[in-house]
Amino acid sequence: MNFDQARFSRDDEYEPLLSEKDSTTVEVDSEGVLPDDLTRDELTLPALSEPQLARHYTRLSQMNYSVELGPYPLGSCTMKYNPSFTEDVAADPNAGVHPDRSDRTIQGTLGLLHGLQEYLADIGGMDAVTLQPPAGAAGEFTGILVAKAYHESRGDDRSEIIIPSSAHGTNFASAAMAGYDVVELPSDDDGRVDMEALDAAVSEETAALMLTNPNTLGLFERDIVDIAELVHDAGGLLYYDGANLNALLGRARPGDMGFDIMHYNVHKTFATPHGGGGPGAGPVGVVEELAEFLPSPMVRETAAGYEQYEPESSIGKVHGFAGNWLVLVKAYAYIARLGDAGLADASAKAVLNANYLASQLDLDVPYGPFHHEFAATSGDRDAADVAKRMLDYGVHPPTTKWPELVSQAMLTEPTEVEDKASLDDLAHAFNAAYADSDEALETAPSKTSARRIDQVSAARNPRLSWRALGDDE
Amino acid sequence: MTAGNGRRVGSPYAPHTDADEEAMLDAVGVDSAEDLFDIPGEVRFDGEFGVDSADEQELRNAMADLLSRNEELTEFLGRGHHAHYVPALVDDLSRRSEFLTSYTQYQPEIAQGFLQVLFEYQSMLVELTGLPVANCSMYDAATALAEAALLANRLRRGASGHRVLVPEHLHEGRLGVLENYLDGAEMEIGEYPMDDGAVDVETLADLVDDETVMVYAETPTVRGVIEERLADISDLAHDNDALFCIGSDLVALALLEEPASVGADVVVGEAGALGLGTAYGMGLGIFATREEYLRQVPGRLVGVSEDSADMRAFTLTLQTREQHIRKERATSNICTNQAWVALRTAMHMAWLGPDRLVDLATQAVTDARDLAARLDELSGVKAPLYDRHHFREFVVRTDQPAPAITNDLAGRGFAVHALDDHHLQVCITDANADAADGLVAAFEEVI
């Protein structure tokens, strides 16, 4: 595959900033509107014509990679194709209502939310689902608050959350935000939960164990039934991180494995666009016993139609309103489009793709068998350098140097949307980059809009706005 | 079973042909993809959810039908969540797939476009707030406020207490989120009273003490009142070594006093009013602060650097604050954020430019004033309730029961919020201004 990213440049900069194209200071004249002392004196912002803006943003778009340009095999991120039609559904003028509307006047919105609550509950094997958390990490935080409320309702004061060392960083941060101490759990030699270490870690202080299954190495935690029993026997709850749910659709459900709480990353599993970093949505599912603690509002169906209600012992709010509605519409549309058969097939193809790609690599791929992702290692070569070189072969590289369990890890998740030819291209990019000279690696990339960027100096001398740039030059 | 195009029936977005699949299975050394699922039998799910796959056209129609069950009402609703007219350019260019379907910019060389947009977004926030550091998004105003309180608490660890003071007129959603975020940090919330819709500064003075880590005030408030004594509130906070946090929105900031000039340490608020629309409460939280608090900022920051060709380039920076590196010691758990909404907001701001943005803000004051005056002329109606300057929205007192009025207005095609038995709230922006005559006429009929 040949690939050269667009590059627009002038002098010593790429596409100029809006402020460099035209920055205008206007005096704010509030006479007859507000007293002078309540208003600012002036405002400086770019003032460009619409054609100039159209050109600016189009140029910038061409200096950006996306899943519609090629494979995006970031491990644990599930960068699958985002269907076009879900955008149209979300853009339906009837979808854009204000959150203060009365239930009676927004039966369409509430009906869709109710339907999505049901879909997700069925897919996860959960009894109740809230759609309010606006991202996966917000879902984790919500789930942990629910666990906390549950323990407190029983007069049970527990202080610890157990998290495997290989877990997503958000798990740790979310547990800490909820006020818990984190107990980090090492992995055993085959990359899974070390049962002896878990046995030693679990105690009457354990509020919950947060687990990703399959884990971040793409390995299914085969001891899950024993793990659940161990945690439950100690009075703790089992939390499922849904980041890797794409590997299990229709074949295993967190609820059936003994998980009490889970979050869903709809921007991963259910193909809503990542939007350059968000918005996502992180619905949370729970078993019956925990349903009364979910955030308010929830949606239920009554004889008179759909209505919002506050669960009996609700933890309250985790978003100012109902969460990232437009994302939820897209997730609903995706699930309804694929149905049981499509979702199960997506998982089958995602798992097949990961294993096929792993089989085509010259790099060592420890552990296995894999579900939808695997951690290859670049051995004595720097994984970040290999990744930069892969850019020159026309693909986005995998997640690098994580999880730490594998040295120089290249965590790779091709998803189900790559065909064999595309996977062969990916394998070629891996293998060629891995085999390239030190010089080729260190000077890469050369076909992207920008060359290798100095991230150290960016952090050492933070310049975070065009004002800061002005000070500097 | 195969479809006509040689692809298996299943996910419409899995491109495998039968031949490809056979070759891949051979390479892996299994007979079927099912053999790759390493799931113990006892937790294996072999059931069905009962959802049939749907044809795209059929599903689009079905979802349009479902959403059309929403009544078509012209909304005069706000309470801190606003809609302005979104230019077509924003819809058109933000949906370019290079923006929409990209990921977080962990490989900056191939993500310069989005990084520059976010840098420009941060920069425009800096212009509007006067504060030198803005992050590139929080989920919404509520979570941004909560993160501000946590930041204040981290900075004021030595304080004898951990209290945040907020106005009694605080949107219930913001209060609810704040309570949940502060619980884990063992912080508490104190409410201070309002006087005729604005901060009762004298009573607040009695409440601020050395247990206070942050004082929060909004302008405009959830009831649309423009706060007149921000500098006094700032002094109260700073005299007690507390941080002063202002909640606002980008349109209001274009006209009202610059937060930095009245002593704000942090500015939070809702930005989705530019670029997003009502979206059933979906939003974009802004977060700006002083340089000295840079390393305590939650969320992502885009900074400037150079590439190996000595050209200016952008990158995510100061990531050691973030959860993927710092784990439980991170400044926040926020990871996936609202980047694409920030992109839309930046486009909308740039499209308006400074003149039209200030005009839009000025119009938010005059339109609210005019509409209130027209309603005030009706018998049994007082508008606005507070003798203050208003921005976009205001409270109306009605002799007739307010819930009945909103009900009757809905029957005439208008959505207005009932605050309680005899108070309504009405919000006007450029998105609904052309329906103001209709609203006034409908009001006259129903009271």
- CB contact, 8 Å: A157 with chain B? no
Give all domains of chain B, ordered by start, each with its CATH number.
1-70 (no CATH), 74-85+352-445 (3.90.1150.10), 96-347 (3.40.640.10)
pLDDT band for position A167 (cuts 50, 70, 90): very high
Residues of B in contact with A349 (CB under 8 A): 10-11, 14, 16, 33
Alpha-carbon torsion angle B310, B311, B312, B318, nearest 10: -50
Nearest-CA distance A191 → chain B (Å): 14
Chain A residue with the nearest C-alpha to that of B127:
A44
pLDDT of B223-273, one tens digit each? Answer: 999 999 999 999 999 999 999 999 999 999 999 999 999 999 999 999 999
CB contacts < 8 A, A to B, total 659
pLDDT band for position B4 (cuts 50, 70, 90): very low
- State yes or no: pLDDT of B204 exceeds 80: yes
Give me the amino acid identity at B429.
T
Q: Nearest by CB to B336, from A13, A248, A280: name it.
A: A280
The whole-number pLDDT of residue B46 equals 87
A366 Cβ neighbours under 8 A, 6+ residues apart: A191, A375, A377, A406
In 3D space, the residue among B300, B285, B308 whose CA is nearest the CA of residue B119 turns out to be B300
Chain A residue with the nearest C-alpha to that of B251:
A43
pLDDT of A265-305, one tens digit each? Answer: 999 999 999 999 999 999 999 999 999 999 999 999 999 99
Quick count: other Cβ atoms within 10 Å of Cβ A438? Answer: 10
B55 Cβ neighbours under 8 A, 6+ residues apart: none
pLDDT band for position A1 (cuts 50, 70, 90): low
- State yes or no: pLDDT of A473 exceeds 60: no
- State yes or no: pLDDT of B3 exceeds 50: no
Q: Nearest by CB to A105, from B70, B100, B325: name it.
A: B70
Test A320 with B143 for CB contact under 8 angstroms: yes
Residues of A in contact with B67 (CB under 8 A): 92, 94-95, 108-109, 112
Q: Nearest by CB to A452, from B83, B113, B308: name it.
A: B308
pLDDT band for position A471 (cuts 50, 70, 90): low
pLDDT band for position A369 (cuts 50, 70, 90): confident
Alpha-carbon torsion angle B151, B154, B155, B156, nearest 10: 120
The string of DSSP codes covering A456-470 is: HHHHHS---SHHHHH
* Residue owning tokens 């602060």: B289
Q: Nearest by CB to A53, from B13, B38, B89: name it.
A: B89
pLDDT of B38-60, one tens digit each? Answer: 999 999 998 888 899 999 999 99
- State yes or no: pLDDT of B2 exceeds 80: no
Q: Nearest by CB to A170, from B9, B139, B323: name it.
A: B323
- CB contact, 8 Å: A287 with chain B? no
- CB contact, 8 Å: A435 with chain B? no
Test B106 with A248 for CB contact under 8 angstroms: no
Please tell me which residue, B158 or A349, carries the higher pLDDT value: A349
pLDDT band for position A345 (cuts 50, 70, 90): very high
Residues of B in contact with A336 (CB under 8 A): 51, 54, 59, 62-63
CA distance A110 to A104: 9
Q: Which of A74-78, B49-53, B125-129, B256-260 has the lowest mean pLDDT?
A: B49-53
The whole-number pLDDT of residue A259 equals 98
The H-assigned helical ranges of B331-424 are: 339-376, 402-411
Enumerate long-range contacts of B31-35, CB under 8 Å, 24 or more apart. Answer: B33/A348, B33/A349, B33/A351, B33/A352, B34/A348
- State yes or no: pLDDT of B291 exceeds 90: yes
- State yes or no: pLDDT of B8 exceeds 70: no
Phi/psi at B26 (5° precision): -60, -45
The whole-number pLDDT of residue B1 equals 41
CA distance B356 to A247: 49
Mean pLDDT of B185-193: 97
Residues of B in contact with A341 (CB under 8 A): 9-10, 53
Test B24 with A420 for CB contact under 8 angstroms: yes
Residues of B in contact with A452 (CB under 8 A): 109, 307-308
Average pLDDT of chain A to the nearest whole number? 96
Nearest-CA distance B377 → chain A (Å): 21
- CB contact, 8 Å: A458 with chain B? yes
End-to-end CA distance of chain A: 40
Q: What is the three-class DSSP state of A119?
A: helix
Mean pLDDT of B299-316: 97
Nearest-CA distance A10 → chain B (Å): 10
- Give ipTM to 2 decimals: 0.98
Test B53 with A176 for CB contact under 8 angstroms: no
Give all domains of chain A, ordered by start, each with its CATH number.
9-58 (no CATH), 82-335 (3.40.640.10), 338-451 (3.90.1150.10)
Interface mutation target, options A452, A453, A457, chain B, most CBs of B under 10 Å:
A453
CA distance B196 to A192: 61
pLDDT of A31-44, one tens digit each? Answer: 999 999 999 999 99
Strand partners, B6: none
Interface mutation target, options A317, A361, A422, A423, chain B, most CBs of B under 10 Å:
A317
Nearest-CA distance B395 → chain A (Å): 15
Q: Nearest by CB to B101, from A274, A282, A318: name it.
A: A274
Residues of B in contact with A323 (CB under 8 A): 281-282
Q: What is the three-class DSSP state of A108?
A: helix
- CB contact, 8 Å: A243 with chain B? no
Test A180 with B184 for CB contact under 8 angstroms: yes
pLDDT band for position B158 (cuts 50, 70, 90): confident
The whole-number pLDDT of residue B159 equals 83
Q: Is there a contact between A68 and A81 (Cβ–Cβ < 8 Å)? A: yes
Cβ burial of A459 (10 Å; 0-12, 13-18, 19+) is middle
CA distance B180 to B333: 14
